[in-house]
Amino acid sequence: MTLPKHVRIVEVGPRDGLQNESEPVSTAIKIELIDRLAAAGFAEIEAASFVSPRWVPQMADGSAVMAGIRRRPGVRYSALVPNLRGLEGAIAAGVDEVVVFGAASESFSQRNINCSIAESMERFRPVAAAAKQAGLSLRGSVSCALGCPFEGSVAPSAVADVVARLADLGCDYIDIADTIGVATPNQVFPAFEAATRQFPLERLSAHFHDTHGQAIANVMAALQCGVTIFHSSIAGLGGCPYAPGATGNVATEDLLYLLQGLGISTGVDLEATVAIGQWISERLGRRATTRAGNALASRQARLAASRLAATQTAVPSPCTSVCTIDPKTGRCAGCGRTLDQIANWSVMSNDEKLAVLATLPS
């Protein structure tokens, strides 16, 4: 089995991950999340969305987010834009790449952007032209490429059709997205085979949601297809406001753990990524949706506790010989401890031992 030696990861947590959060996430937290991700080695971060706040209120602060981040050389910051007005906002905010989108399902296209697939592509034509004129990288995303919440299965030919239309717009990269997370590996192969007939494989990316627990299996299938660009979301954040039942993207921690185990380089620090996933999950008030991330975080916590314990000098027993219990007082005649305190001494923390000693007669 031949697999790529290096994979590029597009971290979509700050945009695709947070857009579905029901409670407002502060601009400051979004900025810190992006800065932490960049520091961990992510070279491509989907940072914002310039859509109407009426449709996606969580993304209303895109300009403020872009203005607040500490830009790192070599990091490409992208944003979703649905129209020319959104593009103008993205250009003013200084994004490096803009993302347009088209569904492989007519029903999803109507529900998501209120027009047919063909109409959506024509709407994006002036957006694409203006983005290229501004010198921005242009990425297209094929939504519901592997399943639709309204139509069910999606034919590979439908995927190929949208890929061809996005290529005609001048897209530099195109995502094949399992928006609702229903695909299994046997659907991944024909979808990418169809897509590569319209667009170079090295510029196609895989975007898998994990609704049915198949995202990592689908990543493996895409790797076998030769895909070298993958989207993921820190702590498994995400969903889609217009795709009923869709849960988060494949967790970045799980993806990195798989790739590291396969000997595939990414340039991203796994340990730092795990810490970021735990941090943002705490800020959102819930446990991270990542098996590898949570397991590694638990292990790191145990190791830290063990290292701390090793640096502390144990509090010795106050008795220099075997304790002798006085039947009248129920305490040791030598040190004054109770029978329970003597019995539990070996499992007490240093603070608990010191608290006991403070109660004993000097």
Domain borders along the chain are 8-301, 325-359
Q: Which residues are catalytic?
A: 240
d(CA 235, CA 225): 26
Task: Domain 8-301: give its CATH architecture.
Answer: Alpha-Beta Barrel (3.20)
pLDDT above 90: residue 115: no
pTM of the model: 0.84
Looking at the DSSP bridge assignments, the partners of residue 139 are: 99, 173
Nearest 5°: CA angle at 219, between 208 and 180? 20
Spatial distance between the Cα atoms of 99 and 163, rounded to a whole number of angstroms: 14
Q: What percent of the chain stands above pLDDT 90?
A: 71
Q: For 186-200, what is the mean pLDDT? A: 97
C-alpha distances in Å from residue 304, one per residue of 170, 288, 346: 50, 20, 21
Q: Is residue 280's pLDDT more than 80?
A: yes
- HSE-up (13 A, CA, CB side) for residue 243: 30
Q: Name the phi and psi angles at 282, rounded to 5.
A: -65, -40
Q: Flag the least confident range among 214-223, 247-256, 268-277, 309-318.
A: 309-318
Average pLDDT over residues 143-157: 92
Taking alpha carbons only, the member of 254, 261, 177 closest to residue 222 is 177
Helix, strand, or coil (residue 22) = coil
